[in-house]
Amino acid sequence: MLVVMDRGATPEQVDKVVKVIESRGMTARPIPGGDRVSIGILNNRGPVDPALFLGLDGVKEAIPVTRPYKLVSREVQPEDTLINVGNVTIGNGYLTLMAGPCAIESETQAMTIAEHVKQAGGHIFRGGAFKPRTSPYTFQGLREEGLKILAKVRETFDLPVVTEVMDTETFDVVEAYADILQIGTRNMQNYSLLKRAGQSNRPILLKRGMSATLDEWLMAAEYIMSEGNTQVMLCERGVRTFVRHSRNTLDLSAVPVIMRESHLPIIIDPSHAAGYRDQVIPLSRASVAVGAHGLIVEVHHKPDEALSDGAQSLYPEQFEALSKWAESVHKLLKT
Ligand code: PEP
Ligand code: MN
């Protein structure tokens, strides 16, 4: 249920609606809009009777919400969410390029790649310090040392940084260093991690689980938002299919559906979808053309020596080409 207030509704009238909701054991979530306030109702077991609100002063209407997710839904917030990180705005009208290595391996490696990313027009630097690896015997990341290197990249190149947070135990330290916290595909349904992310004041980049439906993905975002964090972006990174020519299959059809259902920005990760660098530029062009709000791609100056995901990492000059392509496709969309 969404209670929509009159244009001139007073704060007292909004408070009254909140009290009525709370007196019934439900949670009220006021959503300030352009010219009127709406109040979302959470924690209701079963349908809520609109008559509870229609008689109250300042209430315009009470709309039953039909989707299982609410706060992420356009039914509750019709306008697109814009997220500001440093000088970068992410969301409708903008195309944000996030790029960097899969993992932070050393200060020299990160600084070398960051310089290329900055020169090529990248807006945000990516790099994993805590790495979720399929094998426990492979490189697991530099942990806090990697975070310190990311902080140095931000300072030197004026690039906000995005890095993965893997668990609640290391959440505080990652949160202290990162500008955007990434929740990886393997953790999309880690509900304690999602709840902790919801209590953070950092924007969250929520990757789609590799076998998750769109409803499951949006419900994962709902977990974060229901704890109070409204700065959530969704990231499509390919799903498991039967194909052998790529690591995963990039589900571009998710983009128009997500955009219809949700006001949250959607970013595409063509690197983890493809697994091979020769597919990354074509998939990036397609991602921008389908309307994504940004890309997150892996770049390495010596991919053959990379400690993770070298085969899908672009050479710096390829990222430069991608950046130009992305910009021209984005311009074309606006005409
Ligand atoms: C990554 O971004 O390096 C990563 C591990 O991504 P995903 O969770 O999509 O596999
Ligand atoms: Mn990777």
DSSP, residue by residue, 189-240: T-HHHHHHHHT-SS-EEEEPPTT--HHHHHHHHHHHHHTT---EEEEE--B-
Which residue of 140, 167, 182 sits with most ligand 1 atoms within 8 Å of its CB, as the best mutation to test the pocket? 182
Q: How far is the CA of 269 from the centre of ligand 1 (A)?
A: 9
* 312 ligand 1 Cβ < 6 A: no
Where the chain has pLDDT below 50, the residues are none
In contact, 28 and 1? CB cutoff 8 Å: no
For residue 124, the tally of other CB atoms under 10 A from its CB is 25
327: left (phi over 0), alpha (psi -120 to 50) or beta: alpha
Q: How far is the CA of 201 from the centre of ligand 1 (A)?
A: 22
* 29 ligand 1 Cβ < 6 A: no
Output the six-digit token pair for 190: 């880690």
pLDDT value of position 38: 93
Which residue of 140, 150, 207 sits with most ligand 1 atoms within 8 Å of its CB, as the best mutation to test the pocket? 207
24: helix, strand or coil: coil
Residues 6+ apart with CB under 8 A from 297: 97, 98, 99, 269, 270, 271, 280, 284, 314, 319, 322
pLDDT value of position 212: 98
Which is it for strands 266-268 and 232-236: parallel, antiparallel or unpaired? parallel
Q: How far is the CA of 180 from the centre of ligand 2 (A)?
A: 16
* 248 ligand 1 Cβ < 6 A: no
* 91 ligand 1 Cβ < 6 A: no
Tell me whether residue 33 is exposed, middle or buried, using C-beta atoms within 10 angstroms of its C-beta: 0 to 12, 13 to 18, 19 or more.
middle
In contact, 231 and 264? CB cutoff 8 Å: no
pLDDT value of position 309: 97
How many degrees, rounded to 5, is the angle at CA 220 between CA 272 and CA 19?
155
Q: What number does the ligand 1 atom closest to the CA of 237 have? A: 9
* 128 ligand 1 Cβ < 6 A: yes
* 185 ligand 1 Cβ < 6 A: yes
Output the six-digit token pair for 331: 């311009």
Residues 6+ apart with CB under 8 A from 269: 207, 235, 236, 237, 238, 295, 296, 297
284: helix, strand or coil: helix
* 308 ligand 1 Cβ < 6 A: no
Give the closest residue to 127 by CA, choosing from 157, 88, 164, 154: 164
Report the distance separating Cα 184 and Cα 205, nearest Å: 8
Q: What number does the ligand 1 atom closest to the CA of 103 have? A: 3
Which residue of 180, 187, 237 sits with most ligand 1 atoms within 8 Å of its CB, as the best mutation to test the pocket? 237
Q: How far is the CA of 2 from the centre of ligand 1 (A)?
A: 35
Q: How far is the CA of 268 from the centre of ligand 1 (A)?
A: 12
